[in-house]
């Protein structure tokens, strides 16, 4: 029966199709007698794709096995020519096959590259490289853990001359002051972020104005004058590796990133890291900054909702929010109407113009910056923010939150619902004072922050600066300030006092905010909408804008250089807080000076679209007296100059 088939393949097929199972069978080619294959006795599961053969209905059986024939030399193939020529031909064929294989492999690699197929590579780690966590599939862009640099605390010095707890603006300002007075100082930062010290203000403004992906990835931003700069104060090679700091004879600065100080023993002058390592210091600064507040409605959310709600404070928050926009979010709600909320809403609206992104801002105050600006100016500012493309929902609170078909549903106290793709909370910050409990340090129960004297000293050889410091101001009393310029000023003073200066806090720091390129202000002192105010205004020109001022200054940042004060024009207009219900045209509050009063004494000044006049404002506050006519005082600021 096997004579009908020229190879065992046909027999093999018939055996499977006819009997639907494998048999242990040795099949030989009928003519040559060469053994072909073995079949298993295991049953084959039914296959819907195989059909019974219709070639024959005769049942097939395996032939009895026969003994293999012995191999004989005369049965070997004989070359047509000499053996040398045959071997040479065989080698040539092998080389040709290898060449074709290499060509095929190269072509495959090229196709992989063109199709952007990821190939896993194993990087060579340096000795101080951190051990990075394995990547897992998840929705959030936020890292599961913060990497540590260096990866082991054994590479961090056990004793240091100057220890700065916190890697932000206040610490960096303190470092500069220390090095200016003690050039050979050895300074060590301990920061819980994985980044080198950087500017925080651009995160809610300029960083969202750029559409260049490469700049965003490098954390560069365009300043108002068009020049590009990095968000970092200094490049990476500016800093000394931690393990090399003690060997620097001329001093240096190192930063341990991703590490946290959990306790400070002021008596022993020791700081303890989160892995238990102890660092001894001569002088120490606490500049732990502040952290975002949360909202009671958003306190306990399930994981799906947590992915849809963000706090906003640092680079990680920026990268996450920027990624959400790039992934195609069509609507974002910003909760909060103060500095951060208003700045961020305007920046997101500007970023989303080309991406059809709807930005909604919800806050409980009657208008933008309602805690700072007089009511009439707050409502005027709200219109300006709306013109930037932000949908404003004022005098409204969020009462509940839910998730429906991938959308966040916010239930408002006006009975309406707001459906968006993502929510950003910007409802203020609170000082990072966790160290107070473990380090026996005193905090202010009303204002928050570590209690320090006018020299920013909490204990002997221990100082506090920045957002977390509650300091005594000889002019305005006990205060706590949460602005960039205060971090610079207080950090610089703390650094000077750590090197023996012994100076009290007398310099009044300023703060500023920009709502897009056309509206900005600078302020100093106590600026509170609950205080009585007197405003003096003039019409705004094209030169009276943050963009124009920064461009003229040539540095792209808000210039603090003071301009020469010329005689102002005689025309003026006063607007007291009693006029807050007055409806005005846009140009009524184009630029001006707002005085904040306590017992008829000026305690705060806000310069509205008036720039480079901060030294004059400081002088007015320093006088601490009642002014009979604030219109005359306003002339000092020369607001009518074009």
Q: Once rounded to an integer, what is the mean pLDDT over residues 330-355?
A: 93
pLDDT above 90: percentage of residues in the chain: 58
Q: How far is CA 44 from CA 15, 16, 17, in A?
A: 12, 9, 11
Mean pLDDT of the chain: 80
Q: Is the pLDDT reported for residue 181 higher than 90? A: yes
Instruction: Report the half-sphere exposure of 574 (CA within 13 A, side-chain side).
Output: 13
Please tell me the predicted confidence (pLDDT) of residue 54: 47
pLDDT at 564: 34
Cis status of the peptide bond prior to 425, with omega within 30 of 0: no
Q: Is residue 229 pLDDT above 60, yes or no? A: yes
At 415-463, the pLDDT tens digits run: 999 999 999 999 999 999 999 999 999 999 999 999 999 999 999 999 9
Class of domain 517-637: alpha beta
Closest by Cα among 548, 516, 533, 578 to 381? 516
pLDDT, mean of residues 46-60: 48
Domain map (residue ranges) of the chain: 1-69, 153-197+232-292+431-498, 296-427, 517-637
Mean pLDDT, residues 93-104 taken together: 68
Which tops the pLDDT comparison, 511 or 539?
511
Burial 501-537 (b: 16+ CB within 10 A, else e): eeeebeebbbbbbbbbbbbbbbbbbbbebeeebbbbb
What is the mean pLDDT of the segment spanning 396-409? 96
pLDDT at 107: 64
Band of residue 83 on the pLDDT scale cut at 50, 70, 90: low
E strands, 243-368, are: 252-257, 261-265, 270-273, 278-286, 290-292, 309-311, 331-335, 358-362
Residues shown for the chain: 642
Identity of the highest mean pLDDT range in 127-136, 168-177, 219-228: 168-177
472-497 average pLDDT score: 93
Mean pLDDT score, 237-259: 97
Q: Same CATH topology for 153-197+232-292+431-498 and 296-427? A: yes
Residue 11 pLDDT class (50, 70, 90 cuts): very low
pLDDT at 220: 93
Q: Is the pLDDT of residue 269 over 90?
A: yes
pLDDT at 131 over 50: no
Query: What Å distances lie between residue 539 and 248, 344, 376, 544, CA to CA?
Result: 57, 27, 16, 9
DSSP-derived 3-state class of residue 105: helix
Amino acid 575: pLDDT? 39
The pLDDT of residue 2 is above 80: no
Tell me which of 556 and 625 has the higher pLDDT: 625
Largest CA distance in the chain: 129
Q: What is the pLDDT of residue 106?
A: 66
**Assigned CATH topology for domain 296-427:** FAD/NAD(P)-binding domain (3.50.50)
Report the pLDDT value the prediction gives residue 108, as an integer from 0 to 100: 61
Instruction: Give the per-residue pLDDT at 136.
Output: 38
Q: How would residue 401 be classed by pLDDT, with cut points 50, 70 and 90? A: very high
Instruction: Name the pLDDT band for 580 (thresholds 50, 70, 90).
Output: very low
The arithmetic mean of pLDDT across residues 168-180, rounded, is: 98
Q: State the average pLDDT over residues 622-626.
A: 90
pLDDT, position 569: 38
Distinct helix (H) and strand (E) counts, the chain: 13, 31
- What is residue 541's predicted lDDT score, i.e. its pLDDT? 67
Q: Which pLDDT score, from 0 to 100, does residue 139 have?
A: 57
Q: Could you give the C-alpha distances from 68 to 1, 29, 35, 106, 314, in angstroms and in order?
A: 21, 12, 8, 45, 79
pTM summary value = 0.73
Residue 373, pLDDT above cutoff 90: yes
**Percentage of residues of the chain with pLDDT beyond 70:** 70
* The predicted structure's pLDDT at residue 140: 62
Confidence (pLDDT) at 539: 80
Architecture of the structural domain at 153-197+232-292+431-498: 3-Layer(bba) Sandwich (3.50)
Please report which confidence band the pLDDT of residue 124 belongs to, taking 50, 70 and 90 as the band edges: very low
What pLDDT does residue 542 have? 62
Residue 85 confidence (pLDDT):
63
Dist. CA 625–CA 618, nearest whole Å? 13
Q: Which residue has the higher pLDDT, 277 or 75?
A: 277
361: number of CA atoms within 13 Å, CB side?
A: 33
Q: Which comes out higher in pLDDT, residue 197 or 102?
A: 197
């Amino acid at each position: 029966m096997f004579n009908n088939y020229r190879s065992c393949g046909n027999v093999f097929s018939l055996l499977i199709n006819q009997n639907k199972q494998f048999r242990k069978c040795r099949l030989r080619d009928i003519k040559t007698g060469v053994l072909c294959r073995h079949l298993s006795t295991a049953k084959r599961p039914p296959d819907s794709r195989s059909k019974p053969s219709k070639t024959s209905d005769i049942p097939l059986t395996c032939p009895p096995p026969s003994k293999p024939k012995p191999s004989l030399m005369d049965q070997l193939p004989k070359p047509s020519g000499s053996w040398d020529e045959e071997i040479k031909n065989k080698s040539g064929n092998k080389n040709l096959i290898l060449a074709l294989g290499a060509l095929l492999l190269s072509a495959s690699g090229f196709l992989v590259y063109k199709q952007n197929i990821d190939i896993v590579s194993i990087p060579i780690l340096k000795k101080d490289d951190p051990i990075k966590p394995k990547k897992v599939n998840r929705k959030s862009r936020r890292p599961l853990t913060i990497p540590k640099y260096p990866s082991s605390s054994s590479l961090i010095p056990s004793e240091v001359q100057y220890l700065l707890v916190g890697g932000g603006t206040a610490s960096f300002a303190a470092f500069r002051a220390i090095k200016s007075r003690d050039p050979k100082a050895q300074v060590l930062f301990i920061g819980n972020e994985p980044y080198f010290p950087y500017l925080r203000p651009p995160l809610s403004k300029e960083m969202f104005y750029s559409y260049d992906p490469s700049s965003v990835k490098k954390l560069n931003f365009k300043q108002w004058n068009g020049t590009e700069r990095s968000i970092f104060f200094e490049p990476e090679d500016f800093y000394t590796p931690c393990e090399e700091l003690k060997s620097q004879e001329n001093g240096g600065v190192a930063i341990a990133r991703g590490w946290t100080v959990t306790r400070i023993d002021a008596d022993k002058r020791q700081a303890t890291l989160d892995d238990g390592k102890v660092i001894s210091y001569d002088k120490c600064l606490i500049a732990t900054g502040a952290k975002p507040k949360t909202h009671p409605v958003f306190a306990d959310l399930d994981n799906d909702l947590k992915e849809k709600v963000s706090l906003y404070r640092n680079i990680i928050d920026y990268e996450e929010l920027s990624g959400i926009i790039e992934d195609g979010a069509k609507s974002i709600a910003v909760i909060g109407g103060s500095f951060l909320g208003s700045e961020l809403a305007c920046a997101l609206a500007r970023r989303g113009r080309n991406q059809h992104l709807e930005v909604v801002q919800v806050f409980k105050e009657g208008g933008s910056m309602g805690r700072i600006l007089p009511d009439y100016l707050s409502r005027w500012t709200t219109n300006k923010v709306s013109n930037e493309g932000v949908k404003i929902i004022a005098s409204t609170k969020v009462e509940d939150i839910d998730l429906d078909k991938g959308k966040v549903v916010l239930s408002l106290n006006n009975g309406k619902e707001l459906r968006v793709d993502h929510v950003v909370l910007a409802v203020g910050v609170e000082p990072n004072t966790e160290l107070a409990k473990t380090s026996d340090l005193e905090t202010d129960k009303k204002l928050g922050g570590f209690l320090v004297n006018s020299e920013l000293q909490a204990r002997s050889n221990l100082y506090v600066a920045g957002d977390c410091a509650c300091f005594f101001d000889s002019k305005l009393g006990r205060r706590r300030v949460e602005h960039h310029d205060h971090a610079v000023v207080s950090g610089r003073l703390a650094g000077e006092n750590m090197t023996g200066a012994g100076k009290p806090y007398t310099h009044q720091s300023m703060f500023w905010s920009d709502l897009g390129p056309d509206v900005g202000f600078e302020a100093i002192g106590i600026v509170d909408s609950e205080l009585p105010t007197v405003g003096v205004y003039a019409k705004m020109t094209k030169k009276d804008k943050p963009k124009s001022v920064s461009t003229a200054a040539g540095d792209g940042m808000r210039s603090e250089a003071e301009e020469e004060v010329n005689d102002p024009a005689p025309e003026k207009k006063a607007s007291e807080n009693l006029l807050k219900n007055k409806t005005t045209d846009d140009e009524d509050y184009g630029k001006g000076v707002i005085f904040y009063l306590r017992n008829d004494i000026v305690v705060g000044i806000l310069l509205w679209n008036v720039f480079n006049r901060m030294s004059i404002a400081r002088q007015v506050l320093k006088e601490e007296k009642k002014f009979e006519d604030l219109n005359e005082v306003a002339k000092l600021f020369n607001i009518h100059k074009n």
